[in-house]
Structure 1
């Protein structure tokens, strides 16, 4: 397995994460499926093996709502693997009511952004050990109505589903843009993407934030998880993407972002705040 490319995908037990796992197995990657639940993770691994015809997949347990769990999972990965070619930050949650993680973070900013922020930083050494590392973060067109709500990013006052979700998706892009700057002189690239409206098992659509009732009515208009994962797979595997970093993609093309997503001062403030929140030096 020394020469085999390795990919790690968060939220791999269902939806786009599972679809991406299957696609990368077919492309002959060794796939590490980051999942929160062991039974669901193993069921997803077996499904991925069956549908891909490839057996090189493992489940790595991790709860992105727990900093301790993230640190433990990153340590296990580093013990088992010499390098990491592709990291797909795919997992996402949408909350209709305000919930907090075990570390006290509002759940959407905690899982969608801070969890991936810590995981990515902990795995940077392994990404740099690859011939060409790629970080791919699933954002959303919802970022265009988002802002980083300093000084109350955990929305202890005036919580709203769209407000919280859009904030987390904007954070995904700002995080990616800062990564691209910091990694400019390395062999690692960082890009983000909008997957389109994808039908998921979250109970609400991860792109629009619609609730269960509306989601059921609109389900026929949503694309499949496999189609939603297509751009992420393209960014992970296409040779031409090795030199592109700090871009936001939709349907395999570079797309426009909001002005806030291009705000370097906002990105710097978010990076500093995120480091403090997750306890990085």
Structure 2
């Protein structure tokens, strides 16, 4: 049974991609701590099922539908969240995906970069004033240790010259971490923190839409040794709710502990450039 009075009571948390896997477990866990949870997803039936699970346990859940591969959908989602939620105390950027072949979104962008990086970049910026109003608030971005193998190819961010699912994914996860660090640098005078994390190797349907050959051959053998969704949600729940992390910003967490990310993730010039390029791609003022 969810506790109506818990450490997150009175707080509102937005969790993107919360209709399954880590996102769903994160939403359920934060609701169990007393938070009002707003979940986003693409499939209405799965979203209502996830929300129903939270409500059946005594928690509060709101459902918002959006396909975050579309910038118009991200903007519509932000408008609806701002309309319906008087405060947003935590934004958990959980949505993400892996595609073995190159897909192009309605905006003409490579799908991995659009969903994994540009969607949270745009949504966070659109909700930032509400987060500041609700402060102390937190932005928690679910990245991956794949960031250590990533490289930001500014000459071919969309992988138009050559495409590799793993290379695109690794780049997007490095972008998550660099975005987090740059956001933290831009928010020193506010009470909004920004942190990223690696949830661990979790057994979900991640990548099932367009799996690689390695995923098809290897995952069935290693799945018994992978974390379950609830275990994968432990770190995002911790980073989103732990009282002692209220002043902590610009960090990367593994197993709920701050850890050094890759050396390139700390390249401030590259992060600032990525911010400018990203702002241009989504139609935002880079200086805002």
TM-score (norm 1): 0.95
8 Å CA contact 1:6–1:30 kept in 2: the answer is yes
Three-state SS of the structure 1 residue aligned to 2:107 is: coil
Change over 3 Å in CA distance of 1:209–1:161 after alignment to 2: farther
Deviations along 1:113-145, whole A, 9 cap, x unmatched?
Answer: 001100000000111111311000011111111
Displacement after TM superposition at 1:34 (Å): 0.9
Partner in structure 2 of residue 202 of structure 1 = 206
> CA–CA distance in 2 between the matches of 1:84 and 1:149?
34
1:280 aligns with one of 273, 277, 284: 284
Deviations along 1:82-125, whole A, 9 cap, x unmatched?
Answer: 11101000111000101111111111111000011000000001
Deviations along 1:153-200, whole A, 9 cap, x unmatched?
Answer: 000111001110000000000000010010111010000001110111
Displacement after TM superposition at 1:209 (Å): 9.8
2:19 aligns with one of 10, 13, 36: 13
How many residue pairs get matched?
276
> CA–CA distance in 2 between the matches of 1:209 and 1:67?
30
Three-state SS of the structure 2 residue aligned to 1:211 is: helix
Three-state SS of the structure 2 residue aligned to 1:111 is: helix
Three-state SS of the structure 2 residue aligned to 1:243 is: coil
Three-state SS of the structure 1 residue aligned to 2:98 is: coil
* 1:92 counterpart = 2:69: no
Partner in structure 2 of residue 76 of structure 1 = 80
2:260 aligns with one of 256, 259, 276: 256
Query: What is the RMSD computed on CA atoms of the aligned residues?
Result: 1.7
* 1:215 counterpart = 2:219: yes
* 1:116 counterpart = 2:120: yes
Three-state SS of the structure 2 residue aligned to 1:134 is: strand
Partner in structure 2 of residue 23 of structure 1 = 29
> CA–CA distance in 1 between the matches of 2:203 and 2:262?
24
2:48 aligns with one of 42, 45, 60: 42
8 Å CA contact 2:99–2:207 kept in 1: the answer is no
Displacement after TM superposition at 1:249 (Å): 0.5
Partner in structure 1 of residue 6 of structure 2 = none
Displacement after TM superposition at 1:252 (Å): 1.0
Alignment of 1:70-219 (within 5 A): 70-203=74-207, 210-219=214-223
Displacement after TM superposition at 1:210 (Å): 4.7
Change over 3 Å in CA distance of 1:234–1:35 after alignment to 2: same
Three-state SS of the structure 1 residue aligned to 2:108 is: coil
> CA–CA distance in 2 between the matches of 1:131 and 1:170?
27
Partner in structure 1 of residue 3 of structure 2 = none
Unaligned runs of 5+ in 1: none
8 Å CA contact 1:82–1:129 kept in 2: the answer is no
> CA–CA distance in 2 between the matches of 1:209 and 1:47?
34
Displacement after TM superposition at 1:245 (Å): 0.2
Unaligned runs of 5+ in 2: 1-8
Partner in structure 2 of residue 232 of structure 1 = 236
Deviations along 1:51-91, whole A, 9 cap, x unmatched?
Answer: xx123101111111000011011001111111110100011
